[in-house]
Amino acid sequence: MKSPSLDSRAESLLRELAPQVLGRVVGRYGDFAAAEDAVQEALIAAAVQWPRDGLPENPRGWLIEVASRRMTDHWRSEAARRRREEAAARDALLHPAARVADAEEAEPGDDTLLLLFICCHPSLTTPSAVALTLRAVGGLTTAEIANAFLVPEATMAQRISRAKETIRSSGVALRMPTREERARRLNAVLHTLYLIYSEGYTSSVGPTLHRTDLSSEAIRLVRALHEILPDDAEVAALLALMLLTDARRPARTDANGELVPLDEQDRTLWNKELIAEGVALVSAALPKGPVGPYQIQAAIAAIHDEAARFEETDWPQILAFYQLLERLSNNPIVSLNRIVATAMVQGPKAGLDALDVLAADARLKGHYRLDAVRAHLLEKAGDREAAVAHYRKAAARTSSVPERNYLVTRAARLA
Amino acid sequence: MKYMLMMHARMGKGDWEIFNWPAQDIKAHIDFMQRLNKELRDAGELVGGEGLTGPGQARLVRAGNDGRPLTDGVFPETKEFLAGYWIIEVDRPERAYEVAGKASTAPGPGGKPLNMDIEVREVMSCSPVEV
């Protein structure tokens, strides 16, 4: 008789251990695709045996050992030696505990971290890095990932296998980055996790229902990363940013799934536990320095979340943070946000003047947010006709359905 | 980001021009399209796509005032017609234009590139950014 509690315990343990084991096996043997197959087999063996025989004393060591045996199998070319190895592997399956000594050499977190560095390598395209991270580190099935991104499963399978091929052929070193490249590589990891979060942070109704899972998955992964690197201020800040953003989710869409802007949200719906955790994280991260973009964004999110009413928002402080972020990132979208804050502090006219300057930036040419912000400021300034025109212009340019619905509704309300 | 690439092909005498090409040119054209599809599939970029039957079989359907459908037949005044489409997922618009540019060069009579019009349109998504 299977014990259901052991089943679910084993299942969540396997999910937690899988990236550590994969990271270790990749680091040891340097063949990503073969390592993934080997770990997959070890996980299957564990899923069958653990609920039946009870958890091994050292589950992680057990998995690493079994997967390593599979890898050894993979590399043997002679049939006889392969047979001998299979016997040894079977032996290991039965008595793995004796062989786990070397599994304790390194921190398990290092293995997960190595895996993240590989999956988010800058040589991969963004969709590839996202897919590979969700597959290899998150342990999602290819079908689940395909479903989340609304593409056929075969396409997602091909994308993942192409990503592994890129890693193999581009000579991405399957080892920890050097100290010099570490910051850049960690940045790529954080960026990928951030994209996974944003992809899922969307309307929770209709055909997009399942996509919220991506946000939870991103939070889970950043949380794991934060446990591995508790002293990294940017990692802590990214976790804070996600929690502080996620806290507003219940108020962010109305009953019809339409977007509700920040100044109209019912703040009593915000998740106070997430806000408290996020605020504590960012407060602890900020003094650690050096200040980075996620710390600033988390700080801004915290200021929003701590205002009981929109009117109580500390805009001068938000403006100061956006000015700091603008200097760090040289990103015109950040400048747009800075202009929104400027308008909140100094009035819509000051915002519109600043917008005229920013509009010269070629990177924003034709970007709907430029028109959306202008429309918003024109509305505040009382120029309804021009506001309507710019809301409509923005609506025609956005590729997001909820944004478009919001913008056309806004225009219709004023017209 | 997902893009739809729509291939506008020249109409022939009531149907596709391609129907009047020599067999080897038709084969070269089909081979080219299959190679392109394989490339997109292998790259994990192909979300979907279909080729469409000739314009000779196309019907425009519109409800009349009584709510019953009215249909229209062949459209002799149209010079170009939707011949097929792809939906691809890529990480930047330039890649979509690159694929479209390649599709445009599909070989025609004598193996000469057709330089067809490929209309590139971003597919709307459900992921909003913060407003």
Mean pLDDT over the full length of chain A: 86
pLDDT of residue B79: 80
pLDDT at position B12 over 80:
no
| Residue B90 forms contact with A (CB below 8 Å) | yes
What is the average per-residue pLDDT within A118-137?
91
pLDDT of residue A411: 95
pLDDT at position A404 over 70:
yes
What is the average per-residue pLDDT within A373-385?
96
pLDDT bracket for residue A257 (50, 70, 90): confident
Cα angle A370-A376-A380, degrees, rounded to a multiple of 5: 140
pLDDT of residue A49: 84
pLDDT bracket for residue A104 (50, 70, 90): very low
Mean pLDDT over the full length of chain B: 88
Distance CA B86, CA B126 (A): 20
pLDDT of residue B26: 94
Per-residue pLDDT reduced to its tens digit, A269-313? 999 999 999 999 999 999 987 899 999 999 999 999 999 999 999
Q: Which residue has the higher pLDDT, A397 or A52?
A: A397
| Residue B50 forms contact with A (CB below 8 Å) | no
Least confident of A158-172, A237-251, B22-36: A158-172
pLDDT at position A78 over 60:
no
* Burial class of A11 by CB neighbour count within 10 A (0 to 12, 13 to 18, 19+): middle
pLDDT at position A209 over 60:
no
- Residues of chain A with Cβ-Cβ distance to B91 below 8 Å are 125-127
Assess: ipTM above 0.90. no
The reply to whether residue A199 touches residue B123, judged by beta carbons under 8 angstroms, is no
pLDDT of residue A11: 79
Distance CA A288, CA A285 (A): 5
Per-residue pLDDT reduced to its tens digit, B82-105? 999 999 999 899 999 999 999 999
- Residues of chain A with Cβ-Cβ distance to B128 below 8 Å are 202-203, 259, 400, 402-403, 406
What is the average per-residue pLDDT within A335-346?
96
Going by C-alpha positions, the residue among B32, B45, B33 that lies closest to residue B84 is: B33
Query: Which pTM was predicted?
Result: 0.80
Omega before residue A332 within 30° of 0, cis: no
pLDDT bracket for residue B117 (50, 70, 90): very high
- Residues of chain B with Cβ-Cβ distance to A199 below 8 Å are 127
Determine how β-strand B2-10 pairs with β-strand B117-122. Answer: antiparallel
pLDDT of residue A5: 59
| Residue B125 forms contact with A (CB below 8 Å) | yes
Q: What percent of chain A has pLDDT over 70?
A: 87
Distance CA A121, CA A128 (A): 10
Going by C-alpha positions, the residue among A380, A87, A403, A135 that lies closest to residue A252 is: A403
The reply to whether residue B128 touches residue A127, judged by beta carbons under 8 angstroms, is no
Per-residue pLDDT reduced to its tens digit, A130-141? 999 999 998 888
- Residues of chain B with Cβ-Cβ distance to A259 below 8 Å are 128, 131
Please answer whether residues A44 and A38 qualify as being in contact, where contact means their C-beta atoms are separated by less than 8 angstroms: no
Out of A156, A207, A372, whose CB is closest to B44?
A156
pLDDT bracket for residue A87 (50, 70, 90): low
**Chain A nearest C-alpha distance from B106 (Å):** 24
Out of B48, B91, B128, whose CB is closest to A400?
B128
pLDDT at position A83 over 70:
no
> Which residues make Cβ contacts (< 8 Å) with residue A323, sequence separation at least 6?
A338
pLDDT of residue A99: 40
Sign of the torsion formed by the C-alpha atoms of A372, A377, A379 and A383: negative
The reply to whether residue B41 touches residue A155, judged by beta carbons under 8 angstroms, is yes
pLDDT at position A210 over 50:
no
pLDDT of residue A41: 85
